[in-house]
A and B are shown apart, each in its own frame.
Chain A
Amino acid sequence: MESAAVIRRSAIAAAVPAEGPSIKSSPFSRKTPSSVGFLRRHLDSRVSQPKPLAVCSALSMDTAATGALDAVGITLPRPDSFGRFGKFGGKYVPETLMHALSELEDAFRSLSKDANFQEELDGILKDYVGRETPLYFAERLSEHYKRPNGEGPLIYLKREDLNHTGAHKINNAIAQALLAKRLGKKRIIAETGAGQHGVATATVCARLGLECIIYMGAQDMERQSLNVFRMRLLGAEVRAVHSGTATLKDATSEAIRDWVTNVETTHYILGSVAGPHPYPMMVRDFHAVIGKETRKQAMEKWGGKPDVLVACVGGGSNAMGLFHEFVDDPHVRLIGVEAAGFGLDSGKHAATLTKGDVGVLHGAMSYLLQDDDGQIIEPHSISAGLDYPGVGPEHSFLKDIRRAEYYSITDHEALEAFKRLSQLEGIIPALETSHALAFLEVLCPTLADGARVVLNCSGRGDKDVQTAIKHLKI
């Protein structure tokens, strides 16, 4: 308790700055390996000048990473008992939700140790969701990144797109629905942006026989009418949210309001590693199976660990699911890729960790996109799943301690990558995943020969073909 209190005090001291918060730190440290100059044009403009055309091993990031690890003491629990990752996270919620949140946390902690629950969950993950997902060696993609002298990294894709419903989202949705059932809750609510999390939630509610209400921004409903149909087909009620800009952030606020009102009968299945504690921890832990399988598969395939992990970041759930297993492995480089939309300077993007400021959104302290008046900025990305103006607090923490690096990719670059993977590997990736894939263009030239990259193929792109048709000339 004593040490927790000390951590608490310092966490709080850091959390509440005297002046308005304006913490913009570049994801790049001076020790970042360089890259071919012209490919860096879309990266954060505050990047320091790279070393000229030096090809650095991914392992050269060690010094920065280990330094950060020692300095901050990443060996502290993540999160601490108050739900904080450093100064991020926490529970900025009305008192009306506090009991539900601590009940949820208690249930989560005890079920994590409950063999019966684990067995039931593992069984559903195996037989219903289709786990374990393959770690696939992308031969032609790796070939594409080979340098003239034949050297280059080896790219592996963690095939979360092969899960039932076509994305990683279901890992968390099914686990939370099972947990809710154990808590005796019969009513499930969720928010959704593009509809992926909504579809995953409606799916699991159908599977477990729970009442399901999905909040979706009216604007999003128009753009994603097929997903709306899917959710209704699966038996869920989809409620349009008209307040604010009628998009994901408003749907989330409405879901929180519903929960505040109906907390005794209802469980709120939050779709990402955002929100008040225990959600960031819980959602991460439910997705951590991705990283656990990867470790095992990497050992089987090449007798070692990955050198670099790459994942797209919207709220941050698929990235945390992959990263979590390896955060304490300083030799594994963690890279998150956000959406730069029309470009970082266009004002139309969703690059929260690059361009955001620290604030409180949906119950957690984290980076968020806000203007000078503290109003949330409406994000934009061609991929609706990356369209969240906030980001999970653990990502904010990992960025600040420089354990993970965050970059961003424009709509245009994502579309190119969408096409590239389809034509090189016969896998049509989700537009969200395409952001991570696009970053390989910048990353691979800097990696040593034989460096093993695991990229989280977080979703399949069937849902995106209609969007792609408008933009790609095939």
Chain B
Amino acid sequence: MALAVGTFHCVHLPPRSRALAITSPLSRDQFDRGDSVVIPPAISLGCASISETFTKLKEQRKVAFIPYLTAGDPELLTTSAALRMLDACGSDVIELGVPHWNPVMDGPVIQRAFERALATGVDVDAIMAMLSEVVPELSCPITVLSYFHPVLEYGVSKFLAAMNEVGARGLIVPDLPLEEAEILRKEAKTKKIEMVFHTTPSTQKGRTREIAKASEGFLYLVKTRQSSPLNIGPPRQETDKPVAVGFGVSEPEHVRQLSAWGADGVIVGSALVQRLGEAVSPSEGLRAMEAHARFLMAALP
């Protein structure tokens, strides 16, 4: 087995990742099928909060690249390797999804990812355990994305405490609108976890303003199918906070367009999840995911 470590071609390679070349013992066993695969270096650096990350990017006039992965798809070990890879590649924030049996907001790709992950028996405890090992090695902050039911089931305080413990910096609960989120917001604040809220092109102005006020880190603009071409103008006018756009972002053309329209960040989910989770082997999946991530990042200004 050949493991080429530390050398890989990444267009956006910020100085922070050109450091040590240490393979994680966790990832070694996974990839011993005679493939040659690149394991990104494991670095131990603290990471900024999501707000701080965006502030820095604004100073540098950069657009954030925010990939999304489903935890446990195809299994947790691969997820941890993928997180390291995306971090090393230059992602600015990484979203990690907690699989749930009722993903009402997700399309077929992520539904399948959830099914695969749940079949491995992954649960919140396992995800937190994985994060406790990986997060110290990442330079970009992790945002956990979970539907409300798993959070409620685990226990709201317990969930937030676990996130705090492992160093996750942000939380998105897609089926928890502002009206239902009061307690969660209060508790998240005490644990210094930033809660990101969604808005959509069809959300009314006054409401977008309220959502933007409440949203921490950034305002997540969900690009619904009907709304193309997307006009970032209206949500942008309602807030000074950074606006990141997600859903259906899969090609460099989308990234270019969104950057041109003034998005502060682009969020890419299914395009990466599919390549990672539906590949013939985890190492193939990691390769394909990384290649596509780089491909998309190359389109950033």
* A-to-B contact residues, CB < 8 Å: 8-9, 12-13, 15-21, 82, 90-96, 98-99, 243-244, 249, 253, 256-257, 260-264, 359-363, 370, 373-376
What's the nearest-Cβ distance from chain A to residue B207, in Å?
8
Expressed in whole angstroms, the Cα–Cα distance for A237 and B157 within the complex equals 45
Q: Are B183 and A13 neighbours in the complex by a CB distance under 8 Å?
A: yes
Q: Are A12 and B152 neighbours in the complex by a CB distance under 8 Å?
A: no
For B111, the chain A residues whose CB sits under 8 A away are 243
Known: A16-B156, A95-B177. 7 other contacts (CB 8 A): A13-B183, A93-B104, A98-B207, A360-B175, A363-B175, A370-B153, A374-B150
* B-to-A contact residues, CB < 8 Å: 101-107, 111, 115, 123, 147-150, 152-158, 174-177, 179-180, 182-184, 197-200, 202-204, 207, 211, 222, 224-226
What's the nearest-Cβ distance from chain B to residue A391, in Å?
16
Contact status of A96 and B202, CB under 8 A, knowing A261-B225, A359-B153, A361-B102 = yes
Expressed in whole angstroms, the Cα–Cα distance for A99 and B157 within the complex equals 30
Expressed in whole angstroms, the Cα–Cα distance for A19 and B199 within the complex equals 30
Q: Are A376 and B101 neighbours in the complex by a CB distance under 8 Å?
A: yes
Expressed in whole angstroms, the Cα–Cα distance for A257 and B199 within the complex equals 17
Q: Are B152 and A16 neighbours in the complex by a CB distance under 8 Å?
A: yes
Contact status of A376 and B180, CB under 8 A, knowing A99-B202, A359-B152 = no
Q: Could you jot down 11 A-B contacts, CB within 8 Å?
A: A16-B156, A18-B157, A19-B158, A90-B180, A94-B222, A95-B198, A95-B203, A96-B105, A96-B198, A262-B226, A376-B101
For B158, the chain A residues whose CB sits under 8 A away are 18-20
Q: Are B197 and A95 neighbours in the complex by a CB distance under 8 Å?
A: yes
Q: Are A91 and B101 neighbours in the complex by a CB distance under 8 Å?
A: no
Expressed in whole angstroms, the Cα–Cα distance for A82 and B182 within the complex equals 13
Expressed in whole angstroms, the Cα–Cα distance for A90 and B180 within the complex equals 7
For B207, the chain A residues whose CB sits under 8 A away are 98
Contact status of A361 and B149, CB under 8 A, knowing A17-B155, A260-B104 = yes
- Which partner residue on chain A sits nearest B207 by CB separation? A98
Partner of B105, one of A18, A243, A260: A260
For B198, the chain A residues whose CB sits under 8 A away are 94-96
Expressed in whole angstroms, the Cα–Cα distance for A243 and B114 within the complex equals 11
What's the nearest-Cβ distance from chain B to residue A54, in Å?
42
- Which partner residue on chain A sits nearest B180 by CB separation? A90
Contact status of A263 and B104, CB under 8 A, knowing A18-B155, A21-B152, A98-B177 = no
Expressed in whole angstroms, the Cα–Cα distance for A291 and B222 within the complex equals 43
What's the nearest-Cβ distance from chain B to residue A333, in Å?
33
For A15, the chain B residues whose CB sits under 8 A away are 183
Partner of A253, one of B104, B180, B184, B199: B104
Q: Which of B106, B158, B179, B222 has the most CB of A within 10 A?
A: B179
Partner of B102, one of A21, A98, A253: A253
Q: Which of A16, A262, A263, A370 has the most CB of B within 10 A?
A: A16
Expressed in whole angstroms, the Cα–Cα distance for A361 and B100 within the complex equals 12
Q: Are A92 and B123 neighbours in the complex by a CB distance under 8 Å?
A: no
Expressed in whole angstroms, the Cα–Cα distance for A93 and B198 within the complex equals 11
Expressed in whole angstroms, the Cα–Cα distance for A98 and B200 within the complex equals 10
Contact status of A92 and B176, CB under 8 A, knowing A16-B184, A249-B102, A361-B102 = yes
For B197, the chain A residues whose CB sits under 8 A away are 95
What's the nearest-Cβ distance from chain A to residue B269, in Å?
14
Q: Are B200 and A96 neighbours in the complex by a CB distance under 8 Å?
A: yes
For A264, the chain B residues whose CB sits under 8 A away are 202, 226
Expressed in whole angstroms, the Cα–Cα distance for A91 and B174 within the complex equals 12
Partner of A95, one of B101, B148, B182, B199: B199
Q: Are A19 and B102 neighbours in the complex by a CB distance under 8 Å?
A: no
Partner of B180, one of A17, A92, A99, A262: A92
What's the nearest-Cβ distance from chain A to residue B270, in Å?
14
What's the nearest-Cβ distance from chain B to residue A23, in Å?
12
For B224, the chain A residues whose CB sits under 8 A away are 96, 260-261, 263
What's the nearest-Cβ distance from chain B to residue A425, in Å?
41
Partner of B149, one of A17, A94, A256, A359: A359
Expressed in whole angstroms, the Cα–Cα distance for A419 and B184 within the complex equals 52
Q: Which of A9, A18, A360, A361 has the most CB of B within 10 A?
A: A360
Q: Which 6 A-B pairs have the closest CB atoms?
A: A374-B153, A95-B198, A94-B105, A16-B183, A256-B104, A360-B149
- Which partner residue on chain B sits nearest A264 by CB separation? B226
Q: Are A82 and B179 neighbours in the complex by a CB distance under 8 Å?
A: yes
For B177, the chain A residues whose CB sits under 8 A away are 91-95, 98
For B104, the chain A residues whose CB sits under 8 A away are 93-94, 253, 256-257, 260, 362-363
For B155, the chain A residues whose CB sits under 8 A away are 17-20
For A94, the chain B residues whose CB sits under 8 A away are 104-105, 174-175, 177, 198, 222
For B204, the chain A residues whose CB sits under 8 A away are 99
For A370, the chain B residues whose CB sits under 8 A away are 153
